[in-house]
Structures are given as structure tokens and as C-alpha cells.
Amino acid sequence: MHRLRSIIYFVVGAMMAQMALGLLSSCESDKPPIAPAILMRDSIPVMTSYGVSKLISDSGLIRYKIIAEEWKVYDMTQPPRQTFEKGLLLEKFNQHFHIQMYITADTAFWYNQNLWELRGRVCVWNEEGTVFRSDLLYWNMDLHEFYSNRYSYLVTPDREVKGYSFHSNEQMTKYEVNITQAVFPLPEQQQNPTEEADTAQTTLANTKQDPPRGHFK
């Protein structure tokens, strides 16, 4: 009788041990897969957003609105940057929340929340009726300046300017363009009736170098 009881205890113990092993193995298989550690954090965005419409304040006032299909934030790069690789629409407001300026670009990079690098079909429009177009434009928000070393086309209410090495203030009322071609409309009282057009085209060769940043205020 004692021997039979020992055999029963042994069988029950073996069954319980087998059940415990089965439970342990099932728990291990239910664990989520663990990826290897990321060593190069500067190559991975800390945030990726899609279908973005964001308002940005400055000194407690809403001053900018960003609309983008994709927005990535890199916090470990030097300097930190935010990228808009699928296009950007940026609007700037005055204190009455009226649009002062808007910018569109195929691709944009925002470094340290200060310097914008706009690439592709860049277009800038402001409330004075000025329109700027190029395939590369930099915007320094601290210095309130635009500049580009690519071919640029600027249209103001009273003239058209084309050229390279563009540099202007944020309102695009003071600017310098090297190797320019400009069109200035003539006043009606000074026109000659025999002229074929009401504009005069002047080609200018400007050899001055770009002024230092902070020159335009």
C-alpha cells in the first residue's frame, strides 16, 4: 500500500511539473519581440506626424501656422532640425491675426527653430503684393532676413527683378541682387508714343558681394 501511494505521488508530481513547464513556455512565447538597441539616435526622428496643421506662438501671440503632409522632428542632430519632406505651407500673421506673408515649398528644413532652408518650388507672397520665386531660399527668423545664391525672381508693385545672390529684409522692401535683369514701368507722361511697350528693360552687372547677415533691418 505504501509503495502504491509513492507511485501515485510520483505520477502526480511529474504531471504537475509538466504543466508548469508548459505554462512557462507559453508565457515566454506571449512576450512581444524586442528590437535591438538603437545606437545612432540622430538618424531616427523622435516624432513623425502626418496631416499636420499647427499654430505657433511668439511672445504669447499666435504668429505662424504650419500645414504639411508629413512632419519629422530630430532632437539629437547638431543642430536639432525639423523636416517637411513632402511639402510645406507656412502662414505668418500680424497681431490682428491677418495674414502678412505665406511661403510654400516642395521641401523644408527648420534648424534649431530659427533657420529655414526652403527647397523646390519656393514661393513667398506678402501683403504688399510682392511675390518671390526660386528653387532655394533661406530665412533667418532671428535676423528677419531672406537670402539665396540661386536664380531668383522678384515681382513688386512697381518692378520686376531677376538675378542671383538674393538678399533682403523680411518685408522684401530692401534687397540686393547680383547679375540682375530688371524691368521698371515708366510714368505715362514720360512715354514716347512711338515706343512699342510701356516698360524699359535694363541689364545691370552688380559686382558687390553679399552684405553681412544683419545688414537689413
Closest residue by Cα to residue 166 from 190, 186, 182, 185: 182
In this prediction, residue 193 carries a pLDDT of: 46
CATH superfamily of 42-204: Lipopolysaccharide (LPS) transport protein A like domain (2.60.450.10)
0.75 cut: is pTM over it?
no
In this prediction, residue 118 carries a pLDDT of: 98
In this prediction, residue 18 carries a pLDDT of: 60
Residue type at 42 in one-letter notation: D
- Segments in the chain below pLDDT 70: 1-42, 181-217
In this prediction, residue 95 carries a pLDDT of: 83
